[in-house]
């Protein structure tokens, strides 16, 4: 197919709209179901690059959950723990493939932001993945292929209008990229910079013990950042992004935003949260919203009389500020990646509060010495990659 006509661009007034190849060749995608829009395809192409590169770098099935051209989450296909299954509403006896685990964990990074997401898979979508997606609010999916059973399941979503896109995994984009802004054409080389273990060799801190698991987490963080609107910072644990701070003008605001999301992810594992008793038939988004409010400073909004009965069968005890602080303090083994250098040590100070023990950032600040000194104060391992990863 040479082109796909779209309903409109970013907004309904932006017409006409289409995708096509400048050189007149066939598009590398095929729409198997639905009618993806302009933003859908932006999410699809950015998310596909992320999961493709993550699979190549780690050798593990990879998935991403995208919203508004940035990942809400990304992950590799490690098996789910019993706690993971409870957090992500997965039946205890459900059989899950590695690619299904990857998507469930990617969506689990920030379930509130993944509401109405675009899903991306590095591997063929199987029935296990499709069954999980069927019960989630999602706009569409891109993958290199679909089993017959998976495709039939996905075609039942959104009254038969769920967007299903198949991409040619062998497609390689042209080296030159063009973008028109305000009638002016920009040109740049495609960002084909390769992220792998070789990028992590320049450890600048006193602590140089970087286990293989942390290397994978650094790669997950850096590849996620490569396709996140800048400025951006990403927290990762066990091959799963647990907090992405995207599009902030200040580096410390990125670090705080992503750190707060990582804290929220960890709070979902608190026994009080796992023990919440929901009313029968409650929808997953309503459970997600209830958990988010319960763990926030606005918990009284959902615990007051007349409100809690709509969600819970028993009124929960509040999760106090002291309890939250104590719980977050038990978090450990977290990795942080940054798409540009940390200009001050305050970023390290904030990251440490969310259990960060490993950091990957480009380096190059005039205050690198202070940043390294701050990391050394807490025994953090920090690698300077030497490569900025801005994405706009």
Q: What's this model's pTM, rounded to 2 decimal places?
A: 0.96
Reply yes or no on whether 231 is catalytic: yes
First to last CA, the chain: 28
Catalytic residue status for 370: no
Task: Copy the structure tokens of residue 5.
Answer: 């006509």
176: Cβ contacts below 8 Å, ≥ 6 apart: 187, 188, 189, 190
- The answer, yes or no, to whether residue 1 has pLDDT greater than 90, is no
Q: Which of 67, 157, 215, 237 is catalytic?
A: 67
User: Beta strand 29-33 with 70-76: parallel, antiparallel or unpaired?
Assistant: unpaired
**68 noted as active-site residue:** yes
Write out pLDDT tens, residues 59-106: 999 999 999 999 999 999 999 999 999 999 999 999 999 999 999 999
Q: What is the pLDDT of residues 113-146, one digit of tens each?
A: 999 999 999 999 999 999 999 999 999 999 999 9
**Structure tokens belonging to residue 309:** 């009965």
Among the listed residues 46, 163, 231, 347, the single catalytic one is 231
Q: How far apart are CA 239 and CA 93, in angstroms?
A: 23
* Residue 392 appears among annotated catalytic residues: yes
* Confidence at residue 313, expressed as pLDDT on a 0 to 100 scale: 96
* Rounded Cα–Cα distance for residues 87 and 273 (Å): 9
Query: Is the pLDDT confidence value at 224 over 90?
Result: yes
pLDDT score of 64: 98
Packed helices 212-226 and 38-58: angle between N→C axes, nearest 10 degrees: 160
Strands annotated E in the chain: 3-5, 18-20, 29-33, 62-67, 70-76, 117-121, 138-143, 163-167, 176-181, 184-189, 232-237, 240-246, 334-338, 356-361, 381-384
For the segment 130-189, what is each residue's pLDDT rounded down to a tens digit?
999 999 999 999 999 999 999 999 999 999 999 999 999 999 999 999 999 999 999 999
Q: Read off the pLDDT of residues 8-42 as tens digits, 9 standing for 90 and up.
A: 999 999 999 999 999 999 999 999 999 999 999 99
């Amino acid at each position: 197919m040479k082109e796909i006509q779209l309903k409109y661009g970013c907004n309904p007034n932006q017409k006409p709209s289409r995708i096509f190849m400048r050189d007149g060749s066939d598009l590398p995608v095929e729409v198997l179901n639905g009618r993806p829009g302009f933003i859908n395809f932006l999410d699809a192409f950015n998310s596909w690059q992320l999961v493709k590169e993550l699979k190549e770098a780690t050798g593990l099935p990879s998935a991403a959950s995208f919203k508004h051209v940035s990942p809400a989450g990304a992950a590799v296909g490690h098996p789910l723990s019993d706690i993971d299954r409870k957090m992500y509403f997965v039946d205890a006896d459900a059989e899950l493939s590695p690619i299904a685990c990857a998507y469930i964990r990617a969506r689990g990074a920030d379930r509130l932001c993944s509401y109405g997401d675009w899903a991306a898979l590095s591997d063929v979508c199987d029935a296990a993945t499709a069954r999980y997606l069927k019960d989630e609010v999602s706009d569409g999916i891109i993958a290199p292929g679909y089993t017959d059973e998976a495709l039939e399941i996905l075609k039942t979503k959104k009254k038969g209008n769920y967007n299903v896109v198949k991409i040619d995994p062998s497609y390689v984009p042209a080296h030159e990229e063009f973008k028109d802004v305000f009638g002016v054409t920009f040109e740049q080389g495609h960002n084909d910079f390769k992220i792998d273990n070789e990028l992590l060799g320049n450890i600048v801190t006193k602590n140089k013990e970087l286990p293989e698991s942390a290397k994978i987490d650094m790669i997950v963080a850096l590849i996620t950042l490569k396709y996140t609107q800048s400025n951006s910072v990403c927290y990762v644990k066990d091959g799963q992004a647990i907090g992405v701070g995207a599009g902030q003008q200040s580096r410390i605001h990125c670090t705080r935003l992503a750190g707060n999301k990582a804290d929220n992810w960890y709070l979902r594992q608190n026994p009080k949260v796992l023990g919440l008793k929901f009313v029968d038939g409650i929808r997953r988004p309503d459970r997600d919203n209830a958990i988010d409010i319960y763990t926030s400073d606005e918990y009284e909004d959902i615990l007051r009389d007349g409100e809690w009965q709509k969600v819970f069968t028993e009124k929960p005890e509040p999760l106090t500020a002291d309890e939250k602080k104590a719980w977050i303090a038990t978090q450990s083994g977290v990795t942080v990646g940054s798409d540009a250098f940390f200009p001050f040590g305050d970023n390290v100070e904030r990251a440490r509060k969310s259990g960060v023990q490993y950091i990957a950032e480009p380096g190059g600040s005039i205050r690198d010495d202070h940043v390294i000194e701050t990391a050394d104060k807490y025994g953090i391992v920090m690698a300077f990659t030497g490569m900025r990863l801005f994405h706009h």
